[in-house]
Structure 1
């Protein structure tokens, strides 16, 4: 009887052990999303790429004629920390990880549409791996032009370790231990985890694989990992800095409530008409389309030397404006105050876009000096918010960005810069744009233009 009882216990134990082998493992609040044996808990959607498990690895194979295909969890998640290893072996094998992903079964004429936050795997020369992309919706949220030091983190043909924190409205990413992206956005509060096999253009690339393993998630007792370095944050809150931004030296130039910190150019106070603050947005009203002939430009009360400046702007149809820096107010000129200008313009409808030389008066250009090198896909339509950024380093190297993408750079005061000035409308001013410090200016050009999320960090 004792032997039979012992045998029964061993058999029961054996059954338990077999059962556990296919169940996700739980350890220190972490649990495996992939059991290493099969695709239990996952399903493919939106395309015809194939997924199979080989030696404890999920292998996704590209299929000719298929759109992007996603292997998604049947479970959805809110706040979490996700870790996994990802490998691609071919330059066409762009991949990614959906975080709080969304799926519309009726999308694309009933074929299904995956959309939402995607953490990129980009083996191309662009090297934006672990940047944040908004799949099938807004496009790039965090291109790696914002953190170029992280472009070398991805290793082609090797397993790369991703860590993704999605907590509240903050998304932070690491790649092979390196800090990569920081986005603050509250568009999606819950969603699935997804693994992408990208569409391919050339039939001969069919069969190229993306590999995933060690997929685990933590949804309780979350312990956010701090960023040790100071990187740029794409912050979509309204006129509000994160604690990380405050701790790394950022300040708001516009508080979203009033005109504090600003005054009229050549004035002691803020204009009493034309400019308004409503619902956290600073707007110059339309007038006659003239340059500083109505309410006039506004400038910061403080002056700045080396800095990192972020801002958002929204144009109305045919509008013209600009953000100027190193504005000294010392030229005594009529019209708009003089300074280096990040051009803000409706390139399609405003005639200024076709003036100047080779497009150097178009959106995000250094006005009348250097043409912005930008692609239409990175420009938001008129009536939507675009993100501008100007970085002036202590060595006078200057960079313009549009929606996170670098569009031009130059060295203030260099021989090349002075040659450009000599051929421009600014030639009549000695040492134009070379002041040690100056105000930041927002231009009144007689058209309705709005601004928000204006923030600055002094660089030393």
Structure 2
């Protein structure tokens, strides 16, 4: 059934791609590059027989190059065919900008990924020089098969309001809800190759590059919820999320729905709400000594929870689930399974435990995370925790980092060698609170939402 839906969606895209007698499209490839300007990087761009060709050149450091439209675009539908050397990583930026007061003019903004590597994320959405990955194809595995290496590939982007959707060869790849940048230029990227002389001269090509900006409702692909949506609307649920049963775990303004883990009310000190962000202030690394842990008023059994977090240098914190606040009423943190938040580079706990099982996005003191993409100190990261019965997954920025089963012999063996061995039947509760930890370091949270399964 899912394959039929994908085929149907692809047919719709192809149908809406066809020219009509009153052609709504504007061709962006002219006889020359007069409507474009190059920003950043040393790559060479030229137009030849209706094809824009970008050729890689060495640089130090490895500067990405962008051929950018002189015009800015807000809402639009964009189509193009692309071919790139299998050694090349590239992308098409949309709603992007370059400002002297931001990273010395570096291009930043949404990027339609072109990725011929085995990772196969072509059609995903990257936030160039800003928030990094917003939509990876690890959350939409069927789309990894859409791109055909060594061939011309047809791509489509629909950016309308706060919705950005992508297709590759008619296959839906990304469904993003975000409103950070409503308008900007379109940029064709040639990824920097640094001093790798072996990659000098490799190319990426674009043809049939066209855009429409009017009467988009007539030509936009009808919305079908055939792939997962990723929403970064600040403390707000998208229309799709509302229909899918998501609820805000925090409203972005008040303490409603939360209390101190060892209190009947929300802590009076330590925690601050400002500009839609919830922050625990540091106290020199003392556990639960600033405002103390906070927990949800409700308990949850089967769920998917999303939390955006930003950690300060050297920080330690965590998101706990299946928390029982009746355990450990003394000093320290409440007890539950913990999605670790840690500055792996600066905090010593990264080198404690067994085999990295106390590092970022792992299951604290139990399971080390798989290789991951950490956006780093002072940047927002997205944690996702999925619990369905005894099956649990951790995700960081669109990549799975941990997967395990609770309650089986393997689980009991893990617990027996951890700091949790003193707590009977640890991690086997059928339901519990969700907790944000005060571990004495400044950490901020936003965009907290949950869907019960």
1:418 equivalent in alignment to 2:415: no
Which of residues 422, 440, 444 is equivalent to 1:450? Answer: 444
What's the secondary structure of 2:414's corresponding residue? helix
Cα separation, 2, equivalents of 1:217 and 1:354: 51
Q: Encode CA deviations 1:55-88: one digit per residue, 9 max, x unaligned.
A: x443333345584333332322122111112122
| 3-state SS of 2:236 partner | coil
Change (3 A) 1:203 1:409: same
Name 1:396's counterpart in structure 2. Answer: 390
SS at match of 2:420: coil
Residue 299 (1) aligns with residue 280 (2)? no
Q: Provide the rounded CA distance (Å) in 1 between the counterparts of 2:277 and 2:425.
A: 35
Deviation at 1:124, TM superposition (A): 0.5
Bigger CA drift: 127-136 or 179-188? 179-188
TM-aligned CA distance change 1:384 to 1:120, over 3 Å? closer
Distance 1:347 1:61, change over 3 A: closer
**1:27-426 map, 5 Å:** 27-34=22-29, 39=33, 41-46=35-40, 47-54=42-49, 56-65=50-59, 67-88=63-84, 90-103=85-98, 113-200=106-193, 202-223=196-217, 224-225=220-221, 226-235=223-232, 237-287=233-283, 289-293=285-289, 295-332=291-328, 334=330, 335-374=332-371, 378-381=374-377, 383-392=378-387, 394=388, 396-426=390-420
RMSD over aligned CA atoms reads: 3.0
SS in 1 for 2:350: helix
Structure 1 residue 215 displacement after superposition: 1.5
Following the alignment from structure 2 to structure 1, what is the Cα–Cα distance between the partners of residues 21 and 181? Answer: 27
Q: TM-score, normalised by structure 1?
A: 0.82
Structure index of larger Rg: 1
CA distance in 2, matches of 1:106, 1:442: 35
**Structure 1 residues 96, 440: CA separation in 2 closer, same or farther (over 3 Å shift)?**
same
Show CA shifts across 1:421-443 (max 9, x none): 12101123333212222211112
Cα distance in 2, alignment partners of residues 431 and 282 from structure 1: 32
1:120 match: secondary structure:
strand
1:169-225 per-position Cα deviation (integer Å, ceiling 9, x unaligned) = 432222222332233444433322222233336433333332322222111112243
With the length of structure 2 as denominator, give the TM-score of the two structures. 0.83
Superposition pairs for residues 428-443 of structure 1, below 5 Å?
Answer: 428-443=422-437
1:389 and 1:319 map into 2 onto residues whose CA distance is 19
Residues 220-246 of structure 1, C-alpha deviations (whole Å, 9 max, x = no match):
1122432422514140x3211111221
Closer, same or farther in 2 for the Cα pair 1:259/1:94, shift >3 Å?
same
TM-aligned CA deviation for residue 45 of structure 1: 4.6
CA distance in 1, matches of 2:287, 2:102: 46
Gaps of 5+ in 2: 1-18
> How far did 1:284 drift?
2.8
Taking the aligned partners of 1:59 and 1:317, their CA distance within structure 2 comes to 42
**Counterpart-to-counterpart distance in 2, 1:105 and 1:294:** 40
> Is the 2:262–2:329 contact (alpha carbons within 8 Å) kept by the matching residues of 1?
no
Displacement of 1:349 in angstroms is 4.1
Contact 2:281 2:290 in 1 (8 A): no
Change (3 A) 1:407 1:45: same
Q: 1:48 to 1:208 in 2, by over 3 A?
A: closer
3-state SS of paired residue (1:427): helix
Whether the aligned pair in 2 keeps the contact of 1:121 and 1:129 (CA below 8 Å) is: yes
Tell me, in whole angstroms, the C-alpha distance in 2 between the residues paired with 1:402 and 1:344.
10
Contact residue 26 and residue 32 of structure 1 kept, 8 A:
no
C-alpha contact (below 8 Å) 2:260/2:292 kept by paired residues: yes
SS in 1 for 2:412: helix
Gaps of 5+ in 1: 1-23
Q: Number of paired residues?
A: 427
Distance in structure 1 (CA, Å) of the matches to 2:47 and 2:287: 63
Which moved further from structure 2: 98-107 or 338-347? 98-107
Q: 1:340-380, CA deviations, whole angstroms, 9 ceiling, x for partnerless residues? A: 101122334444333212222222221101122345x6332
